[in-house]
Amino acid sequence: MAPSKNRTLIKNVASLGIVQVVNYIFPLLTIPYVSRIIGPEGFGLINYITAFVSYFVLIVYYGFDLTATRKIAVDPDNLEIRSKVFSEVTCARLLLFIITIVGFMICISSVPLLNSNLMLSLVLFLTVVSALLTPQYVFQGLQRLPVLSILTLVKGVINTSLIFLFVSKKDDLLLYASISVFSNFLISLISILYVVLVIKIKFTFYSIKHSLAILKEGRLIFFSSIIFSLYTTTNIIILGFFAGAKTIGYYTTAVSFIIIVQSVVNIPLSSSLYPYIGKSFSESEENGIIKLRKIVPLVFYFTGAICLGILILAPYVVFLIYGKSFEGSVISVQILSFLPLISAMSSLMGIQTMLNLRMDNLFLKITSFAACFSLVLNLVLGYYFSYIGTSISYIVTELSLCLSFYLILKNKGLILFKKDNFKLKNVIAQVRNIKNM
């Protein structure tokens, strides 16, 4: 491992880690304030509409944060390649954005909750515009993640400031949603300007035919992301068939809290490691596997300790952050407490290993099975046990997905979990090695 590469990796992980921690402190600052204003019902309504919108965001993203990142990371110094990738992605996303407008209009006309909250639905749909503009894959592919993190931090400052200044009563639900949408759009716009003016990426229009070819090329990753949403987002929609806004608020509040923790823990690691490990795999399969084996124990112990803390402290944390009106969320938080650990292991085996080894088809089959399993589990457990059943369905699905990745890789002779690497003395030695690089 070359010293310059090590420094880049450590710099990316450290900068993203520090900034993401600070950035996710902002929701912890605003949520105690906002939750006591809009209550579980308000959170439930926003999150239910957001569940629909997130499908259209996924369509526009189309998995480019993985596929385009991989293309740029192979030769990050090649301006021609990164300009070509940027142009192709932008044109393809523009085509997808037009499709989402039509799709969302159909949803509004057919889903009563969206139609009865038309203005809120339209405002939240503007999140799709931010997805269209966001060039995160460029920053990841070039390993300029500190820049992206700073922009995210700025967004957090703007969002938090506006919430405290303008949101003061229950009727400000629409304003609360608008502030978040505005800050997302602003940062996406700044990101585009940075990519064009500072990184000097040149944009070229491509034909619809060419854009369709690009979409066809990345269809497997896209289908995988859609399938993944079936057990992370659709469960909210299914729960809505059996419960009201308040109950949805209990569940989505718990999930949102876990996602905040998971983002602080997993996003800095996965965003930094994906292009870095991708380049290692491009050099040789053996080199990539060796590096992953050393990383797995560190991620396991780090995320495991945090998950244990969530399980023990859940009642105190929920009451402190959200207030007593969210008491129903405690059990859901405890059920989902080990989700960050399971998700981190799945990411290392699925995204970091299988996708870097071009096992896209196998990855799609595994996630498809998990999605089907999740839908059935959600319908059954959601019907009989409401949001508690939905929480159980979520964690069981993630666990089955993680186990499937492990068994498939083991069957192919790819063992990431080496017993010796998990010994405390070896973990400490590895931490020291990284620290000294």
Tens digit of pLDDT at every position of the chain (437 positions): 455 555 555 555 555 555 566 566 777 788 889 999 998 999 999 999 999 899 899 999 998 888 888 888 888 888 888 899 999 999 999 999 999 999 999 999 988 888 888 999 999 999 999 999 988 888 888 877 777 778 878 888 899 999 999 999 988 999 999 999 999 999 999 999 999 888 888 888 999 999 999 998 888 778 767 776 766 788 898 898 888 889 999 999 999 889 888 877 766 565 555 556 666 676 777 777 877 887 788 888 888 999 999 999 999 999 988 988 999 999 999 999 999 999 889 888 887 788 777 787 888 788 888 888 988 999 999 999 999 999 999 999 999 999 999 999 888 888 888 777 777 777 777 666 655 54
Residues 103 and 56 sit within 8 Å (Cβ to Cβ): yes
Residue closest to 403 by CA, chosen among 373, 426, 427: 373
Q: What is the DSSP letter of 78?
A: -
Which residues contact residue 18 at a Cβ distance below 8 angstroms, ignoring those fewer than 6 apart?
none
Residue among 353, 339, 359 at smallest CA distance from 295 = 353
In the prediction, which pLDDT does 279 show?
Answer: 67
Dist. CA 110–CA 382, nearest whole Å: 23
Burial zone of 155 (CB within 10 Å; 0-12 exposed, 13-18 middle, 19+ buried)? buried
Q: Is the pTM above the cut of 0.85?
A: no
> Where does 62-135 have alpha helices with state H?
64-74, 79-110, 112-116, 118-125, 127-133
Q: In 3D, which of 194, 187, 201, 176 has the Cα closest to residue 83?
A: 201
Cβ atoms of residues 172 and 36 within 8 Å: no
How confident is the model at residue 211, as a pLDDT?
A: 92
- Please report the pLDDT score of residue 1 as a whole number: 47
d(CA 191, CA 239): 36
Q: Cβ(249)–Cβ(42) under 8 Å?
A: yes
* Amino acid code (one letter) for 353: T
Helix, strand, or coil here: 218? coil
pLDDT score, position 45: 92
For the beta carbon of residue 167, count every other beta carbon within 10 angstroms: 20
Q: What's 75's DSSP letter? A: S
Closest CA to 254 of 304, 310, 302, 309: 310
Instruction: Find the Cα–Cα–Cα–Cα dihedral 154, 139, 180, 94, rounded to 10°.
Output: 140
The H or E element containing residue 373 is helix 360-411
CA–CA separation, 363 and 213 (whole Å): 21
Q: With beta carbons less than 8 A apart as the criterion, state whether 143 and 12 touch.
A: yes
Mapped onto helix, strand or coil, the DSSP state of residue 387 is helix
